[in-house]
């Protein structure tokens, strides 16, 4: 993406943010997660807090637990059902209210998935091959490109367009996805009729959360602090972090990835700067830093973990939340598919 394009996106996003605050009732947002494993603090700072904020402003909020996306870059679907319920718990513990927001699973909404067929006719193979997310996921998977991974931007567009979401909070790296959804909405209008709304990207200022090894926090890197860990488990993973032999603690992500990742995590959890935390620890060494980080994370997550544990006491409740969400998503998707059939002339 060129710098100019990025600056335009930032400007548009700022205008959008002002309008959402003034008139939240005009907006519907959709975001989601791939239920590949437990959610971690990267998810919380990255997307979950932003969607709670939008919900609380009065924006209608849809959350897709994209279970079909689990198999875009791997064969094993894993304990997907458990991961779905865990993700629902984490969203609720973070403030998502299932009476105001819809939590649903991709695979339970046939009409949403059916939109992918006409959408596929609107994009070319070359466009899909060029998509930066497809390229990045392909490289990370180290495997042959599956048809599902190649078409990832199209099914993600279907997730957004089926419910006519007009605002999608994203990090900068996901802008190409929103662009694809906009292109599909536009081409559908040119070919048939204006059924779909062009979604706008709301760029979130959320920080990149480093994992415990300094790379991006990710389940697949095994460097994550998950939201569901106990305080003791948190202490254990923090203690395992590879630091270095320099006793004086300083913030320098390039030369000291482990130490700097720990400082950044503590900074996010306390609202302070990594440098000032480094100055506090001074020459007390990485052991002292790890104790400080553990306490910062555990006290930051205490409320979340308490609410999560309370909700988890009633597994029937979380199942009913997902079931209700699926019903609502199906209603919306069927209505949209009906419109699509009508404008395509495929209603019999
Ligand atoms: N791909 C996203 C992730 O990996 C999840 C997701 C699925 C999503 N559909 C979406 C996000 C639509 C935003 C909009 O976390």
> Is a pLDDT exceeding 70 seen at residue 126?
yes
Cβ distance 211 to 258 under 8 Å?
A: no
> Is a pLDDT exceeding 70 seen at residue 90?
yes
* All residues at 6 or more sequence positions from 164 whose CB lies less than 8 Å from its CB, including other chains: 28, 196, 197, 336
Distance 73 CA to ligand 1 centre (A): 14
Q: Is 31 in the pocket of ligand 1 (CB under 6 A)?
A: yes
What is the pLDDT, as a whole number, of residue 286? 94
Report, as an integer, the average pLDDT of 229-247.
Answer: 94
Distance in angstroms (rounded) separating the CA atoms of residues 204 and 17? 10
Query: SS3 letters for 207-245?
Result: CCCECCCCCECCHHHCCCCECCCCHHHHHHHHHHCCCCC
Three-state SS for 198?
A: coil
Arithmetic mean of pLDDT over the chain: 94
What is the pLDDT, as a whole number, of residue 6? 82
Q: Is 91 in the pocket of ligand 1 (CB under 6 A)?
A: no
Residues of the chain with pLDDT > 70, as a percent, come to 100
Q: With bands split at pLDDT 50, 70 and 90, how would you rate the model's confidence at 218?
A: confident
Name which of 151, 133, 125, 129 is nearest 71 in CA terms.
Answer: 151
Cβ distance 24 to 166 under 8 Å?
A: no
Q: Is 33 in the pocket of ligand 1 (CB under 6 A)?
A: yes
Residues in the chain: 348
> Is a pLDDT exceeding 70 seen at residue 1?
no
What is the pLDDT, as a whole number, of residue 43? 93
> Is a pLDDT exceeding 70 seen at residue 264?
yes
* All residues at 6 or more sequence positions from 276 whose CB lies less than 8 Å from its CB, including other chains: none
pTM for this model (two decimals): 0.94
Structure tokens that stand for 123 in this block: 């994009």
* Tokens 């603090």 sit on residue: 41
Structure tokens that stand for 30 in this block: 């959709």
> Is a pLDDT exceeding 80 seen at residue 327?
yes
Report, as an integer, the average pLDDT of 194-206.
Answer: 91
Buried b (16+ CB within 10 A) or exposed e, 18-53: eebeeebeebbbbbbbbbbbbbbbbbbbbbbbbbbe
Alpha helices in the chain (DSSP H): 3-22, 41-43, 49-57, 80-93, 110-114, 116-120, 125-130, 132-141, 147-150, 152-161, 175-191, 231-240, 257-270, 274-281, 285-312, 315-344
**30: phi then psi, degrees, rounded to nearest 5:** -130, 130
Q: Is 32 in the pocket of ligand 1 (CB under 6 A)?
A: yes
Q: Is 169 in the pocket of ligand 1 (CB under 6 A)?
A: no
Report, as an integer, the average pLDDT of 237-254.
Answer: 94
Lowest mean pLDDT among 204-213, 265-274, 318-327: 204-213
Lowest mean pLDDT among 2-6, 156-160, 336-340: 2-6
**Which DSSP symbol is given to 63?**
E
What is the pLDDT, as a whole number, of residue 5? 79
The per-residue pLDDT for range 27-70, each reduced to its tens digit, is 999 999 999 999 999 999 989 999 999 999 999 999 999 999 99
**Residue 259 to residues 188, 206, 242, 252, Cα–Cα distance (Å):** 50, 21, 8, 8
What is the pLDDT, as a whole number, of residue 221? 84
Distance 286 CA to ligand 1 centre (A): 36
């Amino acid at each position: 993406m060129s710098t100019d394009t990025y600056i335009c996106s930032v400007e548009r996003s700022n205008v959008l943010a002002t309008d959402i605050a003034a008139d939240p009732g005009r907006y519907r947002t959709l975001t989601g997660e791939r239920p590949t494993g437990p959610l971690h603090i990267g998810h919380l700072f990255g997307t979950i807090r932003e969607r709670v904020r939008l919900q609380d402003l009065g924006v209608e909020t849809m959350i897709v637990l994209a279970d079909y996306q689990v198999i875009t870059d791997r064969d094993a679907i894993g304990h997907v059902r458990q991961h779905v319920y865990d993700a629902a718990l984490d969203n609720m513990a973070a403030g998502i209210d299932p009476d105001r927001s819809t939590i649903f699973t991709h695979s339970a909404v046939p009409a949403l998935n059916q939109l992918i067929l006409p959408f596929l006719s609107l994009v070319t193979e070359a466009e899909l091959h060029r998509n930066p997310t497809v390229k990045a996921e392909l490289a990370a998977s180290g495997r042959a490109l599956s048809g599902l991974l190649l078409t990832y931007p199209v099914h993600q567009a279907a997730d957004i367009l089926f419910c006519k979401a007009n605002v999608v909070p994203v990090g900068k790296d996901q802008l190409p996805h929103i662009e694809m959804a906009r292109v599909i909405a536009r081409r559908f209008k040119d070919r048939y009729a204006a059924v779909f709304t062009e979604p706008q990207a709301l760029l979130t200022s959320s920080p990149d959360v480093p994992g415990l090894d300094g790379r991006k926090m990710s389940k697949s890197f095994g460097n994550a602090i998950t939201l569901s860990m106990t305080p003791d488990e948190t202490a254990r993973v923090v203690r395992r972090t590879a630091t270095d032999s320099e006793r004086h603690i300083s913030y320098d992500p390039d030369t000291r990835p482990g130490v700097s990742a720990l400082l950044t995590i503590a900074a996010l959890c306390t609202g302070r700067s990594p440098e000032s935390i480094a100055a506090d620890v001074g020459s007390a060494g990485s052991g002292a830093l790890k104790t400080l980080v553990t306490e910062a994370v555990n006290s930051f997550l205490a409320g979340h973990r308490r609410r999560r544990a309370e909700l988890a006491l009633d597994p029937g409740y979380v199942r009913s939340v997902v079931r209700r969400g699926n019903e609502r998503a199906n209603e919306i998707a069927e209505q949209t598919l009906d419109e699509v059939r009508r404008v395509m002339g495929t209603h019999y």
